């Protein structure tokens, strides 16, 4: 625990490494808020595409990030979503998961001004809630003072297979090769950008999820949580209100 008197568990890792699944299930078991920061970058990318803003126009995209209102709320409907995401009141919960957004989101996420805007909101939530926060730079930049940092990795072929199955289940017409290539490109961009590149924090516990079932992954993480946070990990406080 830090002086915060709330608990923050940071989970970082590459695309489809299991972060969102682990984050959501862990938060549910602990009674913490689950916050997937990737949706904010996806929301900015979606808004840029929607308004036909040139994705390579850093200034325009940065201004857009500061202008739009991103809201993340409990699901509100029963179509398989785990939460809802709104941009200026428009429900974009599924739209931000489309391959077109996958293609450009890492470009948007590399802009320092965009990161600065979103990081401010993310840190505010991290300081005021018992939260499992998921992303690329939570343990290194957003919440370097997190009580526990977990970093997930898995071979890119396995991660692409997972994402391909997810997209297929949603009826997206995309081939495995396209998913694999897009993921390789995103991994490269995320880990080579100048600001807040994807990397494990020095004090993160690394879990390789390549050969783990979801249940095994959660069990392993829960064990780490209990041994690292002890009695604090039994804090329960569910948040049903919008977090932003
Ligand atoms: O679910 P998946 O791992 O495919 O991606 P995501 O977590 O939704 O994040 C989408 C993109 O947002 C990433 O590829 C990063 O470019 C960016 N991102 C970031 O830069 N920092 C974060 N804390 C979270 C996401």
Residue bearing the CA closest to ligand 1, atom 9: 38
pLDDT of residue 233: 60
Q: In angstroms, what is the span from residue 139 Cα to ligand 1's centroid?
A: 14
Q: Which residue has the higher pLDDT, 65 or 238?
A: 65
pLDDT of residue 4: 82
Whether residue 37 has its Cβ less than 6 Å from ligand 1: yes
pLDDT of residue 174: 92
Domain assignment present for residue 56? The answer is yes
Q: Which atom of ligand 1 is nearest to the CA of 41?
A: 12
Could you give the number of structural domains in the chain? 1
Whether residue 162 has its Cβ less than 6 Å from ligand 1: no
Q: Please tell me the distance from the alpha carbon of residue 183 to that of residue 158, in angstroms, as a whole number.
A: 11
Confidence check: pLDDT of 235 > 80: no
Confidence check: pLDDT of 90 > 50: yes
Residue bearing the CA closest to ligand 1, atom 18: 38
Q: Which whole number is the average pLDDT over 64-87?
A: 93
Domain assignment present for residue 202? The answer is yes
pLDDT digit string, tens, across residues 126-153: 999 999 999 999 999 999 999 999 999 9
Domain assignment present for residue 243? The answer is no
Domain assignment present for residue 188? The answer is yes
Domain assignment present for residue 1? The answer is no
Range of the domain at 54: 8-234
The CATH number of residue 193's host domain is: 3.40.50.300
- In the predicted model, what is the mean pLDDT of the chain? 92
pLDDT band at 80 (very low <50, low <70, confident <90, very high): confident
């Amino acid at each position: 625990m830090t002086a915060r008197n709330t608990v923050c568990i940071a989970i970082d890792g590459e695309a489809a490494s299991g972060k969102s699944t682990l984050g959501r299930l862990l938060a549910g078991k602990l009674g913490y808020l689950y916050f997937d920061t990737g949706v904010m970058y996806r929301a900015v990318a979606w808004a840029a595409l929607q308004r036909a803003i040139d994705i390579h126009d850093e200034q325009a995209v940065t201004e857009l990030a500061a202008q739009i209102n991103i809201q993340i709320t409990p699901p509100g409907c029963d179509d398989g979503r785990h939460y809802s995401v709104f941009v200026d009141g428009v429900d974009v919960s599924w739209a931000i998961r489309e391959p077109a957004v996958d293609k450009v989101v890492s470009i948007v996420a590399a802009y320092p001004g965009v990161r600065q805007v979103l990081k401010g909101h993310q840190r505010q939530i991290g300081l005021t809630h018992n939260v499992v926060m998921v992303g690329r730079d939570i343990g290194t930049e957003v919440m370097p003072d997190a009580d526990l940092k977990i970093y997930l990795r898995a071979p890119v072929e396995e991660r692409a297979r997972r994402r391909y199955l997810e997209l297929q289940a949603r009826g997206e017409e995309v081939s495995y090769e396209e998913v694999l290539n897009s993921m390789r490109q995103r991994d490269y961009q995320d880990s080579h950008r100048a600001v807040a590149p994807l990397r494990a924090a020095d004090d993160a516990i690394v879990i390789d999820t390549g050969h783990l079932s979801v249940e095994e992954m959660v069990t392993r993480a829960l064990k780490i949580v209990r041994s690292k946070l002890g009695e604090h990990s039994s804090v329960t406080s569910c948040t049903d209100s919008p977090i932003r």
